[in-house]
């Protein structure tokens, strides 16, 4: 396996080498790497097997939403299964193993399930195991016979039985302003509130504060965005009325502005310091909450979209800019929106060859054409990817002319040699906490996404959470939210100046490319576009019935990348709009 580590760039410490093992094989990485980025840097493309068909899967994302690269982390006899490799910080002595395969990840005997075809389609267990009318296995007896084998095959990671000797803590905290998310919007909100004298808690699930500033490649106030974010974090660290909580997931929003959070205190350490707990549960009661939780990029649904080497465009950009890892040597981009063009330019600057940008839109703006030229990529406007090639790694893809108005394909297929395909199907604001706080999300036909509802508790949204996807908008909304939360007046100080690539935030309303082959909507549970249409044909048309019949959105990622494409396919089958 060849190294994909770039010679320069990234936020890792190249002077510090860390040794770990994955599936018994030794690897090295650098301080600041995740398990995913370190393995990718070593040339690993196969990270897992899918739930039902045991198809080979690679990295799709670079953060919490990763559905494919789930691993089990071992600490002695204690096992922690189903951890996204993208969220595991490597440390000396880390031991991780892949899941849902036998005897090995490369050679999985259960991959024979791929030959099952329609026998293993959505709801197969409701139909396949009905016993005969007569005989020893009549009625439910056949199901009870098969249940034993199904249970052995079900699940992903294997839970451990050894007692966990780690220590855990519970903490209560009270503050004037809780800021969830530390991207540009969250940092500005925390700083604005702190400058007003408010007691502020800033929580982020990542180890490094800064969010997209750590990998966007943009310039803020004349400095790289990552450096600007570092300066703001330094100012907050020196403020007595600010508490910073990195590696902290705020996961519940309850009545009375009470929020629940989990801090991973020592999961990233080989040996905890004396008295340190492994994790800490926080119950936070805030007068006002600022939700700056960002957004998730969505995949496009097309045949072969699950092949190792096909990933989200922002993930490819993040691996290159934050971790100094190229996801491929020859990269193609497939998109329905402008944001992927920035990713193409970033990948080119990092040292990859961007061979093509495939855009479903026939009319591409002059700014995007300029970015395609800057990336030295062939621009195929009005085209779509209709197939991918390769086994345990991507070797190429096929494209065809595409009509945006009716979804029709025409002309001859064209083959493109590439070992990575970076795709972007638009963005979905991360509004889970706002939904938990009460009220119904609102569909925005321009953004092709659900936006947060009107608040029913004391919270304020900012940045990509609200559908404002540019950094300049995030900074402006973040400062305004922080001032409002702290009860301050508008600041006369000028806002930081952002230099960023232009782009229209609205994607084309294209979620699926209909061509021959399996097109996956939910990667972890192997739910295909045809499964969604099967649910429609069999009468499971409500969202709740669709979810339970197909298991769409019921995996560990809870549909972060799959829910909206699944709803779009069902809406088309019903002849109705998405909401």
Per-residue pLDDT of the chain (579 residues; tens, 9 = 90+): 457 999 888 899 999 999 999 999 999 999 999 999 999 999 999 999 998 889 999 999 999 999 999 999 999 899 999 999 999 999 999 999 999 998 999 999 888 877 776 667 776 766 666 666 566 766 667 767 777 766 666 677 888 889 999 999 999 999 999 999 999 999 999 999 999 999 999 999 999 999 999 999 999 999 999 999 999 999 999 999 999 999 999 999 999 999 999 999 999 999 999 999 999 999 999 999 999 999 999 999 999 999 999 999 999 999 999 999 999 999 999 999 999 999 999 999 999 999 999 999 999 999 999 999 999 999 999 999 999 999 999 999 999 999 999 999 999 999 999 999 999 999 999 999 999 998 889 999 999 999 999 999 999 999 999 999 999 999 999 999 999 999 987 767 899 999 999 999 999 999 999 999 999 999 999 999 999 999 999 999 888 899 988 989 888 888 899 999 999 999 999 999 997
The SS3 of residue 44 is: coil
Burial of 366-402, coded b for 16+ CB within 10 Å and e otherwise, reads eebeebbeebebebbbbbbbbbbebeebbebbbbbbb
Separation between Cα atoms, residue 400 and residue 388, nearest integer Å: 12
Domains contained in the chain, CATH given: 1-164 (3.10.20.440), 168-296+429-487 (3.50.50.60), 299-425 (3.50.50.60), 519-579 (1.10.10)
Contact in structure between 486 and 198 (CB atoms under 8 Å): yes
User: Would you give the distance in Å from CA 535 to the centre of its chain?
Assistant: 26
- Beta-sheet pairing, 248-254 with 258-264: antiparallel
The string of DSSP letters for 221-284 reads TTEEHHHHHHHHHHHHHT-TTEEEETTEEEEEEEGGGEEEEEEESSTT-SSPPTT--SEEEEEE
**CA-wise closest residue to 428 among 457, 451, 453, 395:** 451
Which of 230-257 are b and which e, b meaning 16 or more Cβ less than 10 Å from the residue's Cβ?
bebbeebeeeebbbbbbbbbbeebeeeb
Predicted model pTM: 0.94
CB 288 within 8 A of CB 190: no
Structure tokens at 148: 């034993």
Distance CA(194)–CA(462), nearest Å, equals 17
Q: How far apart are CA 450 and CA 442, in angstroms?
A: 5
- Two tokens at 66? 């990763």
Beta carbons within 10 angstroms of residue 14's beta carbon: 14
Strands 442-444 and 378-381: unpaired
SS3 per residue for 368-413: HHHHHHHCCCEEEECEEEEEEEECCCEEEEEEEEECCCCCCEEEEE
For 214, the token pair is 């750590």
């Amino acid at each position: 396996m060849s190294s994909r580590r770039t010679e320069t760039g990234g936020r890792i410490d190249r002077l510090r080498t860390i040794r770990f093992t994955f599936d018994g094989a030794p690897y090295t990485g650098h301080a600041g790497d995740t398990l995913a980025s370190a393995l990718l840097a070593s040339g690993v493309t196969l990270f897992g097997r899918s739930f039902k068909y045991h198809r080979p899967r690679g990295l799709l994302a670079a953060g919490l939403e990763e559905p494919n690269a789930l691993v089990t982390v071992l600490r002695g006899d204690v096992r922690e299964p189903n951890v996204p490799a993208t969220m595991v910080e490597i440390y000396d002595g880390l031991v991780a193993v892949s899941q849902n395969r036998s005897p090995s990840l490369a050679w999985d005997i259960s991959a024979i399930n791929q030959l099952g075809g329609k026998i293993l389609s959505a709801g197969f267990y409701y139909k396949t195991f009905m016993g005969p009318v007569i005989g020893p296995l009549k009625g439910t007896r056949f199901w009870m016979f098969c249940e034993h084998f199904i249970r052995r095959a079900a699940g992903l990671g294997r839970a451990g039985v050894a007692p966990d000797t780690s220590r855990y803590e519970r903490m209560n905290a009270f503050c004037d302003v809780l800021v969830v998310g530390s991207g540009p919007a969250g940092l500005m909100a925390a700083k604005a509130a702190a400058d007003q004298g408010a007691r502020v808690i800033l929580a982020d699930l990542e180890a490094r504060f800064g969010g997209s500033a750590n990998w966007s490649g943009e310039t803020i106030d004349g400095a790289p965005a990552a450096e600007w974010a570092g300066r703001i974090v330094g100012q907050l660290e020196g403020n007595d009325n600010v508490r910073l909580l990195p590696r902290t997931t705020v996961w519940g929003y309850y009545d009375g502005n009470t929020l629940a959070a989990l801090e991973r205190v020592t999961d990233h350490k080989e040996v905890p310091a004396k008295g340190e707990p492994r994790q800490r549960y926080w119950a936070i009661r805030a007068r006002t909450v600022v939700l700056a939780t960002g957004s998730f990029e969505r995949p496009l649904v097309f045949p072969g979209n699950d092949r190792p080497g096909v990933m989200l465009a922002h993930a490819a950009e993040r691996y290159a800019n934050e971790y100094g890892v190229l996801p491929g040597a020859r990269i193609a981009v497939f998109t329905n929106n402008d944001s992927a063009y920035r990713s193409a330019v970033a990948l080119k600057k990092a040292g990859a060859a961007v061979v093509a940008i495939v855009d479903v839109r026939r009319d591409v703006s002059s700014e995007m054409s300029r970015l395609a030229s800057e990336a030295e990529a062939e621009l195929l406007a009005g085209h779509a990817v209709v197939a991918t090639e390769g086994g345990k790694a991507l070797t190429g893809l096929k494209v065809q002319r595409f009509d945006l108005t009716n979804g029709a394909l025409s002309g001859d297929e064209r083959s493109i040699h590439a070992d990575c395909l970076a795709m972007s199907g638009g963005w979905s604001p991360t509004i889970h906490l706002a939904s938990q706080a009460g009220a119904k999300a609102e569909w925005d036909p321009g953004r092709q996404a659900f936006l947060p509802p009107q608040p029913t508790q004391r919270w304020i949204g900012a940045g990509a959470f609200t559908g404002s996807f540019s950094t300049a908008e995030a900074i402006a909304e973040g400062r305004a939210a922080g001032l409002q939360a702290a009860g301050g007046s508008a600041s006369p100080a000028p806002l930081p100046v952002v230099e960023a690539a232009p782009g229209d935030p609205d994607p084309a309303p294209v979620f699926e490319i209909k061509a021959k082959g399996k097109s996956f909507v939910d990667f972890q549970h192997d739910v295909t576009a045809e499964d969604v249409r099967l649910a429609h044909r069999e009468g499971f048309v409500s969202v709740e019935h669709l979810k339970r019949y197909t298991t769409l959105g019921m995996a560990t990622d809870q549909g972060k990348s799959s829910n909206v494409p699944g709803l779009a396919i069902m809406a088309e089958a019903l002849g109705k709009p998405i909401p």
